[in-house]
Structure 1
Amino acid sequence: MGGRRRGILCSGSASSPSAAAALILCCCVAVPLLVSVAEAEDPYRFFTWNVTYGDIWPLGVKQQGILINGMFPGPPIEAVTNDNLIINVHNSLAEPFLLSWNGIQQRRNSWQDGVLGTNCPIPPGRNFTYILQVKDQIGSYFYFPSLAFHKAAGGFGGLRILSRPRIPVPFPPPAADYTILAGDWFKANHTDLKALLDNGQDLPFPDGLVINGRGLGGTSFTVDQGKTYRFRISNVGLTQSFNIRFEGHTMKLVEVEGSHTLQSSYSNLDVHVGQSYSVLLTADQLPRDYHIVVSSRFTSPVIATTAVLRYSNGGAAGPPGPPPGGPTIQIDYSLNQARSIRWNLTASGPRPNPQGSYHYGLITPGRTIRLANSAPVINGKQRYAVNGVSFVPADTPLKVADFYNIPGVFTPGSIPDSPSGGGGYLKTSVMASNFRDFIEIIFENSEDTLQSWHIDGYSFFVVGMDGGQWSPASRAGYNLRDAVARSTVQVYPRSWSAIYVALDNVGMWNVRSENWARQYLGQQFYLRVYSPVNSWRDEYPIPKNALLCGRAAGRRTRPL
C-alpha cells in the first residue's frame, strides 16, 4: 500500500479580492471543524459554491435551472482516496436547499449525507459547509440536489475519486478522463412538475434526454487516433433507464460505483437511474466524427439524444450517417448484461470488508429483509410505497431527533421486514438494525416498470437477480464469489434482485427509489444502524456547524 500524503489543497473561485477573502475565510473556518474528525495527514480540498437560478436551454427551450457557480451541470469534483472535501455551499435561492452525494459512503458520518432525514435544509441566504472524507473509496459518482423537486432543474455534477499514488490500477493511465452525465429531461419548470405530484398526478413522459446539460449533438469529446480514453457515465435523470453506445467502437467496462470490474467489452451498456459506470474506449477507427447515442430503455416511444466523438485529425465535419440503433424493450438482454458484470478480485484498492473478510459468500446473513414496491392511491392521491408504507417527512430531521432524543418524531421498526400484502398507508418509516449485522435484502417488483434502488452510506454485493417471485430456493443461483459491490441496483419488471450488506456504518441512512417521482411520493425509508457504544470509533458526534430546525431549533450543538 502507498504511504499517506500530507498537505492542503484548495479549490474554488477566487477571481476577485472579495472572492479570495471569502475562500481564505472558508479555509480558516473549516480547518478547526475538521482536525478532530479526519486524520491530519490526509489532504484537504476546499470548494466554495454559490447556488443560484439561471436560464438554461437543455432542449432548446428556455427554462429556470439551478446553477452552481454559474455552471450547469455544476463544477466537477476530483479527489483522491481518503481526501477530505470541505464544500461551503451558499444558498442564493429563495427556498431551502440541500445537496447529496450519490454513492459516497460517509464513514461514521451520516450528518453529511445531505438528505432531509439527516440534515436541516440550508435556508435562503445562508450557507452550510459539508465536511466529507472519501474514506477508502475510488470510482465514479455524482452529486445532486435532494430537496423538493430541485433535481429536475439541474444542480448536479460529476464526482470522481482517484486511487492513491503507488496503488496499482488494473489498466494503463488513459489519455484523458471524460464525464458523461446523462438522463431524461422535462421542458416544464421543476415547480410545475412538483405541483403535479403534490396534486396526486404522475409525471408526464419525458420530453427528451440530455448529455451534460445539452440536447441533440450539443456535446463533443475530442480524441487522438490510437489512444485510449476513460469515460465515466452516470444516469442523473429522474425516471428513465438509458442505453449508451459509441458508434463503431466498443467499451471495456473497468469500474462500477467504486468497484473495479472484470474487463469485459460491450457494444452498448444499460445505465439505470442513479447508476454510474466507467469504461475505456480506444480511438481505433478511421479519423472522423462518430455518434455517441443515449436512448431510453423499456419505453414506447423511444427517446434519444446524441453527442459527438470527434477525432482530432478527422476534420470535424459531423457524423456522416444516422445514429446507430440500440436495444429497446428487451428485458432478457439487459438482465444477462447485468449478470455479466463481475468484481475484479485481483485488483488493488479500497473494497467492502464485511466483518473482516472479503469472502462475503462465506458469511451467513443473520436477517432477511424483503422490500416490495407498490403504487397505492392514498386519500385520493397517487403515492408510492415500500412494504405498504408511503414515507412522509417529519418536521425534524430523523438523525437530529435521534441525537437529541426528541420524542414523537419517528419510531424504529415502523416499517415491516416483509411485504404486508395490504393497502398503502402514510408513515415516517424507519427500519431498526444493529451495527455489524450482516443482512440479506430482497427487492421484489411485481409491477410492469423497472425499479432502481439506492442505499446511502453503503456498498452492497448484488448476489442475484431474476424474473418471477423470489423464494428461499432462489439462493441456489446466487453469485457468492465475485458479485460486484455497488450502491444502486435495478429490479426488472415482475422480477427480484438480492443483495448482501454488511452494516458497518452507524447512522441514519436513506433507502430510496432512484425514480425521483416515486421517491418524492413516498417510495423510501430510513435505515437506522444503531450501536449502543457512544464512541467516535463508531460514529462522529453532531458537527459544530450543524443547522438545527424543527423541534431541535434553538438547541446548541456539541463542539467537536
Structure 2
Amino acid sequence: MAVIAKFLAILAVLALASTAQAADPDQFLDWVVTFQNLPLLDTTQRVIAINNQFPGPTIKTTTNNNLHINVTNRLDEPLLFHWNGIQQRRSSWQDGVSGTNCPILPGQSWQYNFQVKDQIGTFFYYPSINFHKAAGGYGGIQIANRVVIAVPFLPPADDFTLLAGDWQLRDYRSSRSRLDKSQGIGRPNVVLMNGKAPYIAGGSNANFEKFTVESGKIYRFRISNVGTAQSLNVRIQSHKLCVVETEGSYTAKTCVDSLDIHLGQSYSVLVTMDQSPADYYIVASTKFSSGSLNGVAILHYQNSNTAASGTIPAGPDPLDVNFSLNQALSIKWNLTTGAARPNPQGSYHYGQIPITRVIQLSSSSVTLNNQARFAINGQSYLTPDTPLKLADFYNIDGVFTRGSMRTSAVGSPVMETSVLELDYKSFVELVFVNPENEIQSWHLDGMSFWVVGFGFNETWSPSSRSKYNLVDAVSRSTTQVYPRGWTAILFSVDNVGMWNIRSQCLRRQYLGQEGYARVFNPENSTRTETWIPQNVILCGKAIGKTIPGPRMLGIDEIDL
C-alpha cells in the first residue's frame, strides 16, 4: 500500500507540474536578421536590422512567460543573440554566447526557447559574436510583473524604451580587422538614441528620436547603455529622473538631475511632466574622457509649439569620478517590496550569509604573440571552435580545463580558454580589481549579484570590507569598476550551467577580457538543469555526436 501511495503522490506531483507549466503563457517571435543601409549624419551606415528595424523590436513579456524566438540569419556571417541580464534559469543552453552555443550560420534558422523565470525589469539583447554589436542588432526587453504581484509605484501613462550608446561611423568589419592587427580603432564618433542621430536645433537632421507626452502625467523610461566603449550621463532638461528599478531589482525611489549609466547597464526612471508645455532636450553624454559626445532626443509635450533651442543642459563634470561613485552609493535596494515574487526583496538577508569563497579578478592590457590583448588575471581568453557547454556535456577532451581560471592576479600573461569552477549553492565574494586608468564595466551571466562596495584610487584589502553595504545594496548583473580601484560583489551560486564573465567594453571582450564560470550539480538532476535542447546546433568537435532524446523528470528527482 505504501508503494501505491507513493506512486499516486508522484502522479499528483507530475500533474501539478504539468499544470503549472501549461499556465505560463507562450510567446512566439519570428526574426529575420539582415544588413540595412542607414542614413546617419553625413554618411550611410551599414547596420544589423531585425525585421527591417534598427533597433530591433522591443520584447514585451511577463514574469515566467516562455519565449520562443525563431531567428533567421540573412547576414553573410555566423550569428548569435545574447539576452543581457536574462538569467536563463537552469538553461545556459539558451544564453547565446560563444561558450554555450554554436552560431547560426548564414541562411539558417534556429529557435531560442527560454523562460523569463522569476524575473522582472529592464534589459536588452544584442548580437554577441563577430564584433556584431558595433553594427547594431540590439533591442530592449521589458518584463512586467504578474498581476498578482504589486508594483511599488502607480502605473505610468506610458512605458518608453530608450537605448543610448556610443557609435563609430567606421564599418564594424574594418574595426574588427584593425583590432586583429593590433591597430587602434579610436574613439566613438556619435551617441545614438534609439538608433537615431542627435537632434540639432535649427539643423537639417529630421530623423531624431522624440517622445510625446501629456502635461501632468508620469512616464516610465527604461534606459539602457547599449554602446561599445563609454559610460553615459543621461538627463532630461528641467525634469527629475526618479530611479525605481535596475536590471530586475526595484530600488528605493531616488530622484536625480542626471544619471550615470555604465556600459551594459539598464535603469527604469519615472519622469513627471510638470513643466510648461514645450519641447525639452533629452541628453546622453559620454563620460570619463575629454571632449564629450552628446546624443540628443526630444521630450515633446502634446500640442507644444515651442521647439527646443539654445544650449543643451549641462551635466556633471565628465571627468568627476567622485560624482559617479557617490551617486552609485546613493541608489539602494527597495527592502519592502517584492519583485518577481511577493515576498519583500529585503527578506533575503544577503549580508548575513557566510562567504564560502573569495575571488579576485583583475583586468590588464597584455601583449601575447606580438598582439595587443586584454586579460583577466593575466589570462587572455581564447575562444575554442567547440562551445564549452557542448564539450562539457559530451565530455570532449582538449577544449577547456575545469578550474583553469586564476582567482588572483598571479602568473605570467597567457592566452587560454579559462574556466572558473564554482560549487553549486556556494556563496561568493568576488572583487573586480581595476589597476588601469580607464573605467571598467563587468557582467556576470546566469546570476544577479549585490554590489556591496566601491573603491577609487585605492587598493582592495580585507579591511575594505568595513565599507561594504550588507543591508540594502542593489542587486543587478552589470557593475562599473572605477579607475585604479575596485568593486566588490556578493552572489549566491544558484544556477547550474556555463556562464560568461566579461567586460562590457566590446573591444576588451573581443580581445580576451572574458572567461566562463562552470556551475555543476553532481546530482546531475533536471531539477537544476534542463536537458540538452533537441534542436541544438553541433559544431567543432561535437559534430557527429548523437543528440540524446528528451529526458523527463525522474521519480528519484521528485520531492514528496
| TM-score, structure 1 normalization | 0.91
Aligned residues, how many?
Answer: 522
Partner of 2:332: 342
CA RMSD of aligned residues (A): 1.5
Cα distance in structure 2, aligned partners of 1:196 and 1:557: 39
Report the secondary structure of 1:383's partner residue: strand
Structure 2 counterparts to residues 183-202 of structure 1, below 5 A = 183-202=165-184
1:110 corresponds to 2:100: no
Equivalent residues of 1:59, 1:214 under 8 A apart:
no
1:293 to 283, 287, 294: 283
Matched, 1:280 2:270: yes
Classify the secondary structure of the residue corresponding to 2:519. Answer: strand
Q: Deviations over 1:232-262 (max 9, x none)?
A: 0000000100100000000110000000000
Listed as ranges, the matches of 1:135-534 within 5 Å are 135-217=117-199, 218-315=208-305, 317-327=306-316, 328-350=318-340, 358-420=348-410, 422-467=411-456, 468-534=458-524
Structure 2 match to 1:538: 528
Shift of residue 320, structure 1, vs aligned partner: 2.6
1:317-339 Cα shifts (integer Å, max 9, x gaps): 42032101112110000000000
State the 1:38 CA deviation. 8.3
Runs of 4+ in 1 over 3 A off after TM superposition: 35-38
Residue 36 of structure 1: how far off its partner (Å): 8.0
Q: Residues of 2 paired with 1:162 and 1:548: CA distance?
A: 34
Offset of 1:357 from its aligned partner?
6.6
- Deviation per residue, 1:206-225 (Å, 9 max, x gap): 11110000111210001100
Distance 1:501 1:58 in 2: 42
Query: For each residue in 1:417-474, what CA deviation from the matched residue of structure 2 results, as whole angstroms up to 9, or x when unmatched?
Result: 1111x44210001011111010000000010000000001111000111121000001
Q: Which amino acid aligns with 1:311?
A: Y
Shift of 1:63: 1.4
SS state of the match for residue 280, structure 1? strand
Given that 1:461 and 1:499 are in contact with CA atoms closer than 8 Å, whether structure 2 keeps it comes out as yes
How far has the Cα of 1:270 moved from its partner?
A: 0.4
Q: Kindly tell me: are residues 319 and 270 of structure 1, through their superposed partners in 2, closer, same or farther at Cα, counting changes over 3 Å?
A: same
Inter-partner Cα distance in structure 1 for 2:342 and 2:542: 35
Deviations 1:61-99 (A, max 9, x none): 201111100000001100000000000000111110000
**Secondary structure of 1:412 counterpart:** coil
SS of aligned partner of 1:264: strand
Supply the distance in 2 between the matched residues of 1:346 and 1:124 (Cα, whole angstroms).
Answer: 49
| Superposed counterparts of 1:52-67, under 5 Å | 52-67=34-49
- Whether the 8 Å contact between 1:201 and 1:381 is mirrored in structure 2 is no
How far apart are the structure 1 equivalents of 2:390 and 2:49? 29
Of residues 129, 132, 141 in structure 1, which corresponds to 2:111? 129
Give SS of 1:476's match.
Answer: helix
Given that 1:63 and 1:189 are in contact with CA atoms closer than 8 Å, whether structure 2 keeps it comes out as yes
- Offset, 1:556: 2.2
What is aligned with 1:28? none
What corresponds to 1:7 in structure 2?
Answer: none
- Kept in 1, the 8 Å contact 2:357–2:429? The answer is yes
Aligned-pair CA distance for 1:293: 0.7
Q: Which amino acid aligns with 2:55?
A: P
Task: Provide structure 2 residue ranges, at least 5 long, that are not aligned to the other structure.
Answer: 1-16, 200-207, 551-560
Structure 2: distance between partners of 1:357 and 1:551: 46
- State how far apart, in whole Å, the 1-side matches of 2:434 and 2:384 are: 27
2:4 corresponds in structure 1 to: none
* Distance 1:202-1:365 versus aligned 2 partners, 3 A rule: farther
Which segment is superposed worse, 487-496 or 58-67? 58-67
Question: For 1:261 and 1:406, how far apart are their aligned partners in 2?
Answer: 44
Following the alignment from structure 1 to structure 2, what is the Cα–Cα distance between the partners of residues 352 and 414?
A: 40
Letter in 2 for 1:520: Y
Instruction: Using the TM superposition, give the Cα deviation of residue 166 of structure 1 relative to its aligned residue in structure 2, in angstroms.
Output: 2.5
The 3-state SS of whatever aligns with 2:43 is coil
Asked if the contact 2:363/2:434 (under 8 Å) is kept, the reply is yes
In 1, Cα distance between the equivalents of 2:419 and 2:41? 39
Instruction: Flag the 1:373–1:352 CA change in 2: closer, same or farther, 3 A.
Output: farther
**In 2: Cα distance, 1:395 partner to 1:290 partner:** 50
| Amino acid in the other structure paired with 1:440 | E
Matched-pair contact (CA < 8 Å) for 2:150–2:342 = no
1:32 corresponds to: none
Q: Would you say the 8 A contact 1:58–1:210 is kept in 2?
A: no
Q: 1:88 aligns with which of 22, 46, 70?
A: 70
Mapped to 2, the partners of 1:154 and 1:38 lie a distance apart of 37
Cα 1:527/1:375, change in 2 over 3 Å: same
Q: Please give the alpha-carbon distance, in whole angstroms, between the structure 2 residues aligned to 1:474 and 1:352.
A: 34
1:75/1:157 contact within 8 Å kept: yes
After superposition, the Cα gap between the structure-2 partners of 1:394 and 1:412, relative to the gap in structure 1 and judged at 3 Å, is same
Contact 2:118–2:340 (Cα < 8 Å) also in 1: yes
Q: Distance in 2 between matches of 1:267 and 1:388?
A: 40
Which structure 1 residue ranges, 5 or more long, are not aligned? 1-34
Contact 2:248 2:339 in 1 (8 A): no
**CA displacement at 1:343 relative to structure 2:** 0.3
- Write the distance in 2 (CA, Å) between the matches of 1:558 and 1:157: 34
**d(CA) in 1 for partners of 2:87, 2:421:** 19
C-alpha distance 115-474 of structure 1, shift in aligned 2 (>3 A): same
Distance 1:506 1:264 in 2: 34
User: What amino acid maps onto 1:68 in structure 2?
Assistant: I
SS of the equivalent of 1:334 reads: helix
The question of whether the paired residues in 1 share the 8 Å contact of 2:46 and 2:135 is answered with: yes
Q: CA deviation at 1:352?
A: 12
Quick one: distance in 1 between partners of 2:74 and 2:38? Answer: 17
User: Structure 1 vs Structure 2: percent identity of aligned residues?
Assistant: 52
One-letter amino acid matched to 1:305:
G
Superposed displacement of residue 389, structure 1: 0.1
d(CA) in 2 for partners of 1:88, 1:389:
35
8 Å contact from structure 1 (residues 59, 187) kept in 2:
no
Q: Residues 148 and 364 from structure 1, CA distance in 2 versus in 1: closer, same or farther, beyond 3 angstroms?
A: same
Change over 3 Å in CA distance of 1:547–1:37 after alignment to 2 = farther
- Give the letter for the 1:103 counterpart: G
Instruction: Give the structure-2-normalised TM-score.
Output: 0.91
Deviation of 1:313 (Å): 2.5
Structure 1 contact 415–429 (Cα < 8 Å) conserved: yes
* Inter-partner Cα distance in structure 1 for 2:322 and 2:342: 29
Map of 2:12 onto structure 1? none
SS of equivalent residue, structure 1 residue 470: coil
Relative distance call for 1:58 and 1:234 in structure 2 (3 A) is farther
Partner-residue secondary structure (3-state), 1:518 = helix
Counterpart of 1:200, as a letter, is: S
